[in-house]
Amino acid sequence: MDYPDWKETREGMWAAHLDFPMFDDETPSFMARPIATKKDDLESADVVIIGSPYVSSSSDEWAGIGKEHWLAAPQRVRQQSIRYQSGYVQDFRLNVFDHLNVVDYGDADIPPEANVGKLNPELILKAQAAVESKVNDALDVGALPVVIGQNSPCGSYAIAKCVAEHTSGNVGIVSLDTHWDIFRLCPQTKDPRIAGGFCWLYKTLEFHDNIHAHNLVEIGPRGMLEASDVVEELIERGAAFYSGWDVRQQGVEAVCKGLDHAYNGTQAVYGHFDMDVLGGAGPAPGDILGELAEPIGLTDYECIRIAHELGLRGVDGFSFICIPPGSPVMYRVIVYIIMYLLAGKAMSARRNA
C-alpha cells in the first residue's frame, strides 16, 4: 500500500510554504490548530482532538492489511487536514474557528508493546486507560473530545466509559458500523474485562447502568454478518436499528430524525463512527478495508450528514475506529466528518446565544 510521505503530501498543498504547529517532523496539528501538551492548556477549549493509534492484532496485519497503515491514521488525518485553508465551511458560510476553540491534544500515551505481539489483557487495559486519561481531561473542562482511533476498546469503549462516568443521567449512543460489535465476550482474549472490537457495544451496555439499549441508535449493519440472538435481544430491549438497506430505502434525512431515540430521556450522547460502515460506497473502493468490506455501505455524504446532525443536536463524546487505510481521500473524509460535526455544534451555539 503506497501512501505519500509528509514531504510529498505537503508539497502538493496550497500552503506548502507555510509553517504549522508540529508534534514532530511529520505530524502537524489537526487543521493547524494550537497544540495542547497538558491539561491546563485545555481550560478555554471547546473541542479537543485526540489520537488513539492502537490496533488489536497479534500479527503484522489486521483484516489482511499491514498494521502500520492502521496505526498511521491519526497522523495521516492530521496531514490531510492541512490542505484546507481555514475552518470556513462554505456549505454553511460559517468559519468554525470563529465560534469554537479547537485544540489538538496529541496522541494518547499508548504503551508501544500494546501494539506488538500477543494480545495481552493487561496491556489492552493500559492502552485503554491512556485514552481515558486524555478524554477525561477534555470532559473535565467541559470540552468535546474527538478521538481519532482505529480499534476497540481505545477508539470506542474508552470514550463511552468516560462520558458515562461524567454524566449523572442516562447516556445515548449513536453508532455507525458494519458490525454491531455485540459478542458477549471478547473472543480474542476471553477476558470479561475487555470491551474489544467484537464486543465493545455489548460490554458498554453491560458495564454502565446509565447506558441502555432503548437509547441506542445503530446505523449501518447489513447482510448476513450477525447471529440473530443478540441483535434481536437488543431490538427487543428498545434499540433503534437502521440497516444499510434501511438507509437506502428511507433516506438519510429519515435516519437523522430517528436520532431522537438517543436523545429522549438522556443527558449526554456519545457518537461512535466505525468507518468500515462505508464499505464500497465511499470515495475509495471497498477492498481498501480488506476483510472488513461489505456491500450496501453508507456513503461519505451520509456519514458526514449524520455527524452534522449530531453537532446540531449536541454530542458529548465522539470517536472513530476502522478508518480505511492508505487513501488520502479517505483521511479527508474524516476531516470532513469532524468539521461538519463542529459546524453543527457552532450553528447550534449561535442559535442559542
Sketch the domain layout of the chain as residue ranges: 6-352
pLDDT of residue 162: 99
Ordered alpha helix ranges (H), the chain: 6-11, 67-71, 73-81, 121-140, 157-165, 200-207, 228-236, 244-250, 252-257, 260-263, 300-313, 328-352
Identify the CA nearest to 80 among candidates 12, 144, 23, 25: 12
DSSP string, 267-327: SEEEEEEEGGGGTTSSSS-GGGGGGG--SSPPPHHHHHHHHHHHHHH--SEEEEE-PPPS-
First to last CA, the chain: 48
Q: Please write the tens of the pLDDT for every residue from 117-158.
A: 889 999 999 999 999 999 999 999 999 999 999 999 999 999
Separation of CA 156 from chain center: 7
Residue 271: all three cell numbers together: 457518537
Cα 72 from Cα 95, distance rounded (Å): 28
Nearest to 158 by CA among 238, 63, 58, 51: 51
The 10s digit of each residue's pLDDT in 150-204 is: 999 999 999 999 999 999 999 999 999 999 999 999 999 999 999 999 999 999 9
Residue 242: strand pairing partners = 219
Provide the pLDDT confidence category of residue 353 given band limits of 50, 70 and 90: low
What does DSSP assign to residue 173? E
User: Taking 90 as the threshold, does the pLDDT of residue 18 lie above it?
Assistant: no
319 DSSP β-pair partners: 147, 272
24-82 pLDDT tens trace? 999 999 999 999 999 999 999 999 999 999 999 889 999 999 999 999 999 999 999 99
The verdict on pTM exceeding 0.95 is: yes
Residue 40 has what DSSP assignment?
A: G
Structure confidence by residue, pLDDT tens digits, 216-245: 999 999 999 999 999 999 999 999 999 999
Superfamily of structural domain 6-352: Ureohydrolase domain (3.40.800.10)
At 87-98, the pLDDT tens digits run 999 999 999 999
Average pLDDT of span 328-342? 97
Amino acid residing at 190:
K
323 near 278, Cβ under 8 Å?
no
- Please give the angle made by the CA atoms of 313, 314 and 318, to the nearest 5 degrees: 125
When pLDDT is averaged across residues 105-120 and rounded to a whole number, the result is 95
How confident is the model over 237-254, as a mean pLDDT? Answer: 98
Residue 203's contacts (CB-CB under 8 Å, 6 or more residues apart) are 157, 186, 194, 195
Q: Is the pLDDT of residue 303 over 90?
A: yes
- Residue 11 binned pLDDT confidence (cut-offs 50, 70, 90): confident
Q: How many CB atoms lie within 10 A of CB 347?
A: 18
d(CA 243, CA 279): 13
